[in-house]
Amino acid sequence: MRLHTLTLRCTGLLLTLLTSALSQAQTPDTMPNTTPPNCPSILNHSFNRLQDEAPQNLCQYAGKVILVVNTASYCGFTGQYEGLEALYAKYKDKGLVVLGFPSNDFGKQEPGSDKEIADFCFNTYAVKFPMFSKSVVSGPNSNPLYQALAKETGRTPKWNFYKYLIDRNGKVVDSFNSLTGPQSKSVISAIEKAL
């Protein structure tokens, strides 16, 4: 009986040591791939939501048509929030999602905190489409999504309210400069084609 108990204890200790050694041996290079299945690489990034700063992986939008927009509260194009919200309301049940990324990159027109930006968006324009924490969208320090968008298209935002359209397969199919409003014929046509 004593030998059996001792054997069980040694086996348990050995398992504990092995498990500990294996978990310590896993470096980021050796850890298993945690990419969700069927998630295009361009979407496999997490950002904090604007309204509550909770992390959210963009993979949850895989299979949807996505309009990515860098936004600012104090810009001549800020009124485009209204058009973006109208697009989202009209096409969300068909598979469109608009993703807003506030940025202070251009003209310092988004100086506020995330809370101030959220209050402005939700109270002034009743924005319901997903918005994320303020980040950099141009240059070498841009957030990972905008780095991927620039790499795939060879184009970067030159001002606030630049738009990228991503199809259901995660391929960037079009982009629109700030002068092209969200309810322009070219944007609507591209969205309807992608849907």
**So which residues are the catalytic ones?**
75
For the chain, 195 residues long, give each residue's pLDDT as a single digit of tens: 554 444 444 444 433 433 444 334 433 333 334 556 689 999 999 999 998 999 999 999 999 999 999 999 999 999 999 999 999 999 999 999 999 999 999 999 999 999 999 999 999 999 999 999 999 999 999 999 999 999 999 999 999 999 999 999 999 999 999 999 999 999 999 999 999
Could you tell me the residue range of the domain that residue 157 belongs to?
Answer: 41-194
Q: Is residue 25 part of a domain?
A: no
Provide the pLDDT for residue 36.
Answer: 60
How many structural domains is the chain composed of? Answer: 1
CATH value at residue 139: 3.40.30.10
Computed on alpha carbons and rounded to an integer, the radius of gyration of the chain in Å comes to: 22
Residues 6 or more apart in contact with residue 107 via CB below 8 angstroms: 72, 75, 159, 160
Q: Determine contact, residues 40/58, Cβ cutoff 8 Å.
A: no
| Domain contains 92 | yes
